[in-house]
Structure 1
Amino acid sequence: MDRKERAGCDDSKGGRANPLRQLSLEQLRQRTSMKWRVYPKEVLPLWVAEMDVPLAPPIVKALHSTVDLGDTGYPYGSAYAEALAEFARARWGWEDLRIAHTALVPDVMMGIVEVLRLTTDPGDAVVVCSPVYPPFYAFIAHAAREVIEARLGQDLRIDLGVLEDAFVRARSHGRRAAFLLSNPHNPTGVVHTRDELQAIAELARRHGVRVVSDEIHAPLVLPGATFTPFLCVPGSENGFALTSASKAWNLAGLKAALAIAGSEAADDLRRMPEEVSHGPSHVGVIAHTAAFRDGGTWLDELLLGLDANRCLLGRLIDEHLPGVRYRPPQGTYLAWLDCTGLGLHSERRSDEPGVVSDMAGPARMFLDKAAVALSSGHVFGSGGAGCVRLNFATSPDILRQALTRMGRALRAL
């Protein structure tokens, strides 16, 4: 992080309304979700993508009304898609999101799998840009498709030459192929530009590859960057996007998402099996609808708080982890930390029975020696070994405590 970036940091941003400052560590430890129960109490969990925030008031109001009415039946109607369309028009200038071109799905990853089943066959290839969100690998493999990696460039952005080579390999032997795009990118926090997305669409068209864009982090673009929906760029008409309010409003436990088809992909979406729509929760649909329709003010306060934490993290890394490289993310609340210079990992896996690979070296060290849980970079695919992903959607106090612990552990090695 350079001086110019540090100069713009102010960890008081967001003021008293900052959702990241509203819960104490003691309150958070009462939670029973994965983030707070996988590790012992003394561990500070900065790993899985859950935020340390209270629910936005409009969502609380909607859920209380739902419970009071006993409105816990089956989901129905298009209110969710309508709320998303209004939000997308106001925030991203997406004027032509057609309600008829959407489908309700249980969550973004399950929706991705269903779209891949519509556009590819078992044995076909799906391209991903590594390092990337680990479930991409697991869900693609479980759907009997082959993963082909297109490594990100040194600047952590998509390398179009590498991507084209991957498209050629994916289409070999007459196979159908898809490109699973992370937009914004998880774990790097890169927000793809309109020009980059248009170039991707043109490449995909040229090689007969269908693009499926995971846009779950779209509302979480931080000051200094602009989100562009993939389906808004020319050439994307045969593509798909999937999104929900899950990440931006912390609703992972309330399942509901939307699949959106480009104008040329609408017929494909209509072939989605009817039973897929049985997976989302009606209560989840209500919560996500309230988030997109009425949660904008809360989201704006959150984004100010995340921007402040992004800057604070850079200062803390400079102070406590000088050997770690950090590019401030443009979006999400996830930081990709390059710890390769610390010499704590090996990129070789051991196939010898009983021998544990040390590819997770940095994450393991920070867990064992600092009691800070991070996501190990090696599970994000090629290019991830020696890195860690840190979730900074927590209070500034917890962030300071975690980085202080990590620095102390590193100095003690």
Structure 2
Amino acid sequence: MSDRTGSGGPLSAYGLDELRGRHSAKWRHHPPQVLPVWVAEMDTPLAEPIVTALAGAVSRGDTGYATPCGLPEAYAAFAARRFGHHADPAAIRLVPDVMAGVVEVLHLVTRPGDRVVVNTPAYPPYFYWLPRIGRQVVQSPLALGPDGHRLDLAALERDFAAGAAAYLLCNPHNPTGLVLGEDELLAVAALADEYGVRVVSDEIHAPLVYPGGRHVPFPSLDAPAGARSVALVSASKAWNLPGLKAALAVPGEEARADVAGIDPEVSESAGMFGVLASEAAFSEGEPWLDELMAGLSANRTLLGELLAERLPGVVYRPPQATYLAWLDLRALGLGDDPAEWFLRHGEVALYSGLKFGPPGSGFARFNFATSPALLTDAMTRMSDALTTRRTSTLNAP
């Protein structure tokens, strides 16, 4: 059994009362008695280099419209160190966030009515934004086997062959935590080349890969589809900056002209604080990130132990990346939306699996980027709710 009283590094900096004083969606969407483990925010302080960068901006009143500053260079250097990807900073464009970047790139490389393939379960905003810009969502489910989720290349080929214009790849994958290896990505690239599909890659969780895995940026692939692809990246998930609004569109060699077409008005919609914080994160934030990953790795193990001990019917496959657990709760008999049941009966807010598409029925997403104490509290509440349910059923006339 892991040490449940460990420090957790940045994850254990705040207690519950301090966290309830936050104004973010995670802590204000539900009533205060509810323990939130749903949206992708972490319960951490900021890395010190980010604090310094933001404090400096405040002290000099640096709150004007955003420019890229040194962010493209900072990301390119980080990607070279971390992923072995040598992106050209001059070709990188600033966007407000990854989803906004996806929308803008799809505007540039597809036409209204085009079919865009996404792997389900899928990040819920995909289902909102793609139809909103006149693109058809083609759901291509991941395969689920005893060892967890994997990419179904046969299904992907079928969906490409049916007339897809683009593939919105999410790697590392949200919500399953799947990390695609280079061989798999090259197989995807071969299919994209065969069927003329443009790849737009959401790589927001790339810095959050656990030991044993390796993130391969799609534009770094030695394949025509890699050269024609665009990756969207950000510091927001790894350094807990989602409210500050800054991300980057990183083109492959043959997609530079597409990315250059991003209107300056789009870039100016990013936040100055987001740019400065992200630059500090990529330039000086790796020691903090490494400490965070140690804490997340411990929590990933702890979550498995607690589930086995207190909710043995739940199927948990530790993610290869992210701080998001995709829990298979179907054996508990709580219906299609177990997150709604645990909210009502356990005062724990998970992210409903139904929002991730049809494969999410009976599943829920659990954010374990919190202290070991609060992680244990969430498991206790869920276990107690199920115990009460069983007792009520047994005592029913």
Instruction: Quickly name the TM-score band, shorter chain normalised.
Output: over 0.9
CA shift, 1:382, in A, is: 2.5
Matched, 1:250 2:240: yes
| Contact map agreement 2:8 2:295 (CA 8 A) in 1 | no
State the percentage of identical aligned residues: 53
Read off the aligned partner of 2:117 and give its amino acid letter. Answer: V
Cα–Cα, structure 1 residues 32 and 77, in superposed 2: closer, same or farther, change >3 Å? closer
Structure 2 residue runs without a partner (length 5+):
390-397
| Matching residue of 1:80 | 71
1:306 to 281, 296, 305: 296
Q: Counterparts of 1:340-355 in structure 2 under 5 Å?
A: 340-345=330-335
Aligned to 2:10: 19
Which of the residues 273, 290, 299 maps onto 2:280?
290
Superposed counterparts of 1:7-406, under 5 Å = 16=7, 18-94=9-85, 96-154=86-144, 155-171=148-164, 177-235=165-223, 236-345=226-335, 359-360=336-337, 362-406=338-382
1:19–1:301 contact (8 Å) kept in structure 2: yes
Structure 1: unaligned runs, 5 residues or longer: 1-5, 172-176, 346-358
How far 1:411 moved relative to its partner? 2.2
Say if 2:385 is the partner of 1:409: yes
Deviation track 1:92-127 (CA, whole Å, cap 9, x = no partner) reads 111x20112211101100000000000111100110
1:16 Cα deviation (Å)?
Answer: 4.8
Structure 1 position 269, deviation (Å): 1.3
TM-score (norm 2): 0.94
SS at match of 2:142: coil
Contact persistence 2:68–2:275 (CA under 8 A): no
State the one-letter code of the partner of 2:20: R
Aligned AA for 1:58? P
Retained in 2: the 8 A contact 1:78–1:99?
no
Instruction: Please report how far the alpha carbon of residue 224 of structure 1 lies from its aligned counterpart in structure 2 after TM superposition.
Output: 2.2
**CA distance in 2 between partners of 1:333 and 1:11 (Å):** 18
Supply the AA of the counterpart residue of 1:140. L
Distance (Å, rounded) in 2 between the aligned partners of 1:61 and 1:17: 23
The amino acid that maps onto 2:154 is G
Secondary structure in 2 aligned to 1:127? strand
**Separation (CA, whole Å) in 2 of partners of 1:274 and 1:75:** 10
Q: Spell out, residue by residue over 1:58-99, the C-alpha distance to the aligned partner (whole angstroms, 9 max, x if none).
A: 1000000111111112223441010001111111111x2011
**CA RMSD, Structure 1 to Structure 2 (Å):** 1.3
Task: Look up the equivalent residue of 2:217 and give its one-letter code.
Answer: P
Aligned residues: 384
Conservation of the 8 A alpha-carbon contact between 1:374 and 1:388 = yes
Partner Cα distance (1:390, 1:364) in 2: 13
Residues 130-175 of structure 1: per-residue CA shift (max 9 Å, x gap)? 001111111111111000011100131111001111111234xxxx
Partner secondary structure for residue 393 of structure 1: coil
Distance in 2 between residues matched to 1:134 and 1:76, nearest whole Å:
29
Conserved? CA contact 2:169–2:199, under 8 Å: yes
Which residue pairs with 2:392 in the alignment?
A: none
* Structure 1 stretches of 4+ moved >6 Å: none
Separation in structure 2 between the aligned mates of residue 340 and residue 251 of structure 1, nearest angstrom: 33
> 1:386 is matched by which residue type in structure 2?
G
User: Is the 1:189–1:330 Cα contact (8 Å) retained in structure 2?
Assistant: yes
